[in-house]
Structures are given as C-alpha cells and as structure tokens.
Amino acid sequence: MDYSPDTIGGWVGNRLHGKTAVVTGAGRGIGKGIALMFAAQGARVIACDINADALCQLQDEADAAGIGEIVTVAADLTGEEGAAHLADAASALPVVSILVNAAAIAVFDWIDSMPFSAWRKTLAGELDTVFLVTKAIWPLMKARGGSIVNFSSANAHVALDTLPAIAHCAGKGGVLAMTRQLAMEGGPHGIRANSIAPGFTLTEETERHLNNEAMMKSVRAKLMIDHLGMPQDIGWLAVYLGSEESRYVTGADFSIDGGATAW
C-alpha cells in the first residue's frame, strides 16, 4: 500500500475539521487508510489496533506527511477489557464525533472443515468487536451526537464463488443488521449509524490472493469496471459519513464493490 507523503498529501482538506474520531483496525488495510485520511481531513484521531508495531508505522507515516493529530492505542478489542482501555483513552477527548469500527479477525474455511473454534473466533473478531467498542464509546457520543461507521461486506449480501466464507458471511451479516438497530437506538441522541459493504479491496491481507487464479477470475468476472478496490476508495465514503455532509443519512448500507453485487 502506498502511504507516502505525496499520496497522503493528496488527501488533505478540511471536511472533518473540528471532529474527533476513534478508528479501530487502524494498523492495516482499510482502517489504516481511513485513519490517515481522517487526519488529513482535519480530524483528531485515536487509532486503535491489536498490533502495536503496525501503529508505530502508522504514526511514522502520519508524521512524515505532516498531517493532523493521531494518537495510537494498542488493544485487543475481542474482549471487554480491551474495549474499556480504548474508551478510557478516548475519554480524554471532549467528545467523540465519529466511531469507525474497522477492526476484524476472520478465519476462512468451508463449512465441512471449519472447526467450531474458528467459527467462534471469526464471530468474535467481526461481530463482538463492533458490539464491545460501540457499547464502550456510546456514552462519549450521546452528549452531542455523532456518526458510527461500521463495515458489512459484499459477502453480507451475496456469496462469492471460490471463497470459503461461511463464518465471514455470518459475521458481516450480523454487522449489517446491528447497524440498523444502532441507527434506531441512536436517533434520539443525534447518533447516526451506517455501514459500508466493500467488495474485494487490495490490502496487506488480500494481496496474497492475487496469485489465486480461480478466485481472482471469479472476482473480476463480477466487476462492472476494470478496477480493484483500494483503501482510499472506501475511505472517501467514510469521510462523507463522518462529516456533516451526511447529516440526513442513517441506517443505510453502501456498496463499494465495482458493481459486483448489482447483477
């Protein structure tokens, strides 16, 4: 992934000026891109990941680009203790304006060979993390409202041939449903909740699939445009959902998948 000063410099703006954001899964992939993009757009960012070394690299890249403030927090968000640790760090902010739940852990296997332990690990990594972090941060958002951005997936809507994603589909389908409920519960407090459903997106994790000819043939066959997604393709929607530009948007799910789920 290209997070050079020139690339990050191209994201600089003020669409999130004055906002404070908590971004989980910020050490890699889509979460990292969003954390850097939010800071470039003027937000004060608390970036959380289980990987402390990855957070150090994130901080170095932000510093090299000379963008706004990023504070890093290393925590395992699959348990209440880690979520509480993140909330304690966020409580130093006057208010949390935006919460981006991008952290995820998934095991991919077919149903006939997936151990129950791997199923539980995936649901903890994709569903429990969203619940635990949102519950912990919720009191910090109720005072003045804000925006929650969750991640469903194209796999919350359709199955992908060649991808053994039984647990992943279940976890992301749960996030999709949870987000609608959060939108309802948050409405009286001025809290909006929406989800983003990415298709195949190039990250440190998914790059390893590029040599899987059968899988990539299936992925490309579903695309309406000849372009694989990048973190910034997802990040710009997250910027919109975190800003006042989307003040009338809640309870929605947005597909960013090159048209893969449109046919």
What digits encode the pLDDT tens for the residues 67-126? 988 999 999 999 999 999 999 999 998 899 999 999 999 999 999 999 999 999 999 999
pLDDT at 207: 65
Cβ neighbour number for residue 171 with a 10 Å cutoff:
28
Most confident region among 3-12, 124-133, 198-207, 209-218 by mean pLDDT: 124-133
pLDDT at 208: 74
Give which of 148, 6, 2 is closest to 67, Cα–Cα.
6
Mean pLDDT, range 146-170, rounded to an integer:
92
217: pLDDT confidence band, cut at 50, 70 and 90?
confident
pLDDT at 161: 78
pLDDT at 210: 75
Q: What are the residues whose beta carbons fall under 8 Å from the beta carbon of 114, sequence distance 6 or more?
A: 107, 164, 166, 167
Q: What is the set of domains in the chain, with CATH numbers?
A: 12-256 (3.40.50.720)
**pLDDT digits over 161-170, tens only?**
788 999 999 9
**pLDDT digits over 178-196, tens only?**
999 999 999 999 999 999 9
Cβ neighbour number for residue 115 with a 10 Å cutoff:
10
Mean pLDDT, range 124-134, rounded to an integer:
98
pLDDT at 243: 98
CA distances from 169 to 107, 110, 160, 186 (A): 11, 12, 10, 25
pLDDT at 64: 95
pLDDT at 163: 83
Percent of the chain with pLDDT over 70: 99
- Burial (CB count within 10 angstroms: exposed 0-12, middle 13-18, buried 19+), residue 98: buried
Mean pLDDT, the chain, whole residue set: 94
| Positive or negative: CA dihedral 93, 96, 102, 103 | positive
